[in-house]
């Protein structure tokens, strides 16, 4: 065996080791990847089975097409939540249980209702005009 072929063999083995590290570790290519666009990150998070619950954040619920969106909203204690009716029909925000913490008047198109949640808990509500419309605010 010539000196050259030994050298080539050594290089080849070194490259095999690197390839195995890359394939097995998975960390190196991730670090080298350019940052994906923001949209891709969101999609990944939504599809990642480990990323749950998929509770929405923010403090706004939009009423449209006879539904509350998001149907489930998680907020921190002290958050003022705003419901806005973007639907053509009037709707209400009404607690499911008594005493009714949430008790909005009928909200016409473009009307808003706000409520500040001071205590942690799970608050279920519905529209008293269309009881099949239901939503949940989780206060943590
Ligand atoms: Cu309604």
Which CATH entry fits the domain spanning 60-139: 3.30.1330.10, 2.60.40.420, 1.10.101.10, 3.60.15.10?
Answer: 2.60.40.420
Alpha carbon of 124 to ligand 1 centroid (Å): 15
Alpha carbon of 100 to ligand 1 centroid (Å): 17
- Longest Cα–Cα distance of the chain, Å, equals 91
* Predicted local confidence at residue 56, as pLDDT: 76
Alpha carbon of 87 to ligand 1 centroid (Å): 9
pLDDT in tens, 98-135: 899 999 999 999 999 999 999 999 999 999 999 999 99
CA 68 vs CA 16, 19, 25, 44, 55: distances in Å: 56, 51, 44, 25, 14
Q: CA 19 to CA 29: how far, in whole Å?
A: 11
Omega of the bond leading into 50 within 30 degrees of 0 (cis) = no
Alpha carbon of 131 to ligand 1 centroid (Å): 7
**In whole numbers, what is the pLDDT of the chain averaged over residues?**
76
- Interior CA angle at 94 toward 89 and 100, to 5°? 160
Q: What is the pTM of this model?
A: 0.62
Alpha carbon of 66 to ligand 1 centroid (Å): 6
Q: Is the pLDDT of residue 80 over 90?
A: yes
Alpha carbon of 36 to ligand 1 centroid (Å): 40
* Predicted local confidence at residue 65, as pLDDT: 97
pLDDT in tens, 53-79: 455 779 999 999 999 999 999 999 999
Report CA Rg, the chain: 27
* Predicted local confidence at residue 57, as pLDDT: 78
Q: CA 13 to CA 54: how far, in whole Å?
A: 46
Domain ranges, ordered by start, for the chain: 3-47, 60-139
Q: What residues sit around ligand 1, an ion, with C-beta below 5 angstroms?
A: 91, 127, 129-130, 133
């Amino acid at each position: 065996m010539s000196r050259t072929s030994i050298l080539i063999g050594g290089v080849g083995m070194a490259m095999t080791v690197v390839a195995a590290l890359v394939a097995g570790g998975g960390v190196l290519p991730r670090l080298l990847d350019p940052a994906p666009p923001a949209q891709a990150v969101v999609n990944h998070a939504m599809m990642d089975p480990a990323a749950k619950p998929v509770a929405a954040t923010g403090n706004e619920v939009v009423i449209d097409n006879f539904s509350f969106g998001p149907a489930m909203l998680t907020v921190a204690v002290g958050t003022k939540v705003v419901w806005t009716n973007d639907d053509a029909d009037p709707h209400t925000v009404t607690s499911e249980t008594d005493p009714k913490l949430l008790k909005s008047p009928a909200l016409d198109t473009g009307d808003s209702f706000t409520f500040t949640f001071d205590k942690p808990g799970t608050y279920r509500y519905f529209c008293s005009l269309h009881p099949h419309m239901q939503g949940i605010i989780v206060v943590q």
